[in-house]
Chain A
Amino acid sequence: MTERRLAVRLKVPDNTAYTALVALRRLGVPVARVERATLIVVAAADDSAALEGVRRDEALFNANLHEVELVRCSAPEAGEIWVRARDASSMQAWRLFDEDGAPVPRATLEWARDALLCNPAIETAVVGR
């Protein structure tokens, strides 16, 4: 059994991501699109067992609403920020894109983190390169 990280995403419109986008732009953060996923860590024998485990957990996953995929990286990618409440096991992964659809630079991610996405009193955040 090894730990695997999985991302669960909505395949229907993500209202929270839209509100985050509007709020970040109002704060002046140069971002054109926001995506969001929930990252969970499970212990499983192999990849397919990990995926199957999530797909079977109705509290996490409904095939009508969600899609799930394995996350190979152990740290956020470019344009990505992972936020974890200190007492929670799952994380929120935010992906920020600029007008051209490219991941935003690290400085913009840090701005978004400090301006809105993380409350340092109760959460920790890791930003991508």
Chain B
Amino acid sequence: MRSVAVLVFPGTNSEEETVRLLRVYGADARLVHWSCAQTLGEYDAYVLSGGFAYEDRIRAGAIAARDAMMDPVIDGARQGKLVMGICNGAQILLEAGLVPGSGDSRRPTAAFTRNVPPHFICKQVYVKLTVEPRRSIITAALAAGAVLPAWAAHGEGRLAAGAEQMAQIANENHLAFVYARADGRVDDAATPNGSALHCAGLVNRDGNVLALMPHPERVFPARSALFESFVKGVEAS
């Protein structure tokens, strides 16, 4: 069976529910604490969970993205290992330059930044898959156009980037998930944070790295088609 590491940075806070839900779908998921970073290379896939790594000081995800913990994750992503970041994990993946991944390693080309209005928001939302499911091995087991329940819980979740980069995100199928209503309609009212393109989640070029702002793992009782699809993807990868 293939193994999944759930990374724990100083300040991470959603590691327990993340590892629990991965195990619901049969994953061999284990927490890897920052003092054990040297063991990370042995894992087959990585999940970066929610929280406030380094309390998001300087910028959300900025310090964690440059932490030694990320070296094996960046190497692994290059080798095609699956990497999923939720909320703070998503912010870290953008800061690390893995997603959308159009620049050099560790040179971010976009960010999930300060919400509009500029406050933390905790709200039940829906996210809609906007790429062909097979675009990413992580979403491959989802239905086309799947609308999934999740919780937005962040102060910095608005996608921002330069105009050229934004066009690339839209044109090159990086926009994996958008905010939607329960019936799948996409509009500003369903987007809790002013995110560009109503973006809730981005995927890299090769489809093996996914960054999603809202938390599927906080729906009670815990069930997530995305986590299920991720675990299937890990086994198939």
Contacts and interface: CB of A to CB of B under 8 A. Distances in A.
Interface stretch (B37-45, B57-65, B146-154): B57-65
A12 to B, nearest CB: 16
A16 B165 contact: no
A103 B218 CA distance: 47
B54 interface: yes
Contacts of B111: 119, 121-122
B161 interface: yes
B62 A119 contact: yes
A85 B114 contact: yes
A116 interface: yes
Interface residues of A, number: 19
* In the A-B complex, the 9 residue pairs with the closest CB atoms: A16-B57, A19-B57, A23-B63, A122-B111, A122-B160, A119-B108, A121-B161, A121-B110, A121-B109
Interface residues of B, number: 22
A99 to B, nearest CB: 22
Q: B-side binding surface: helix, strand, loop or mixed?
A: loop
A27 B57 contact: no
B54 A23 contact: yes
B108 A121 contact: yes
A23 B65 CA distance: 11
Contacts of A119: 59, 62, 95, 108, 111
B107 interface: yes
Contacts of B161: 121-122
B92 to A, nearest CB: 12
A32 B114 CA distance: 30
Nearest to B158: A87
A53 interface: no
B221 interface: no
Interface in B81-121: 95, 107-111, 113-114
Contact of B58 (A16, A27, A121, A122): A16
Given A19-B54, A23-B54, A116 B63 contact: yes
A121 B109 CA distance: 5
A121 B165 contact: yes
B66 interface: yes
Contacts of A117: 58
15 contacts: A20-B63, A23-B58, A26-B68, A85-B113, A85-B114, A87-B160, A115-B66, A116-B62, A120-B107, A120-B108, A121-B108, A121-B110, A121-B162, A122-B111, A122-B161
A15 interface: yes
Contacts of B162: 121
A27 B68 CA distance: 9
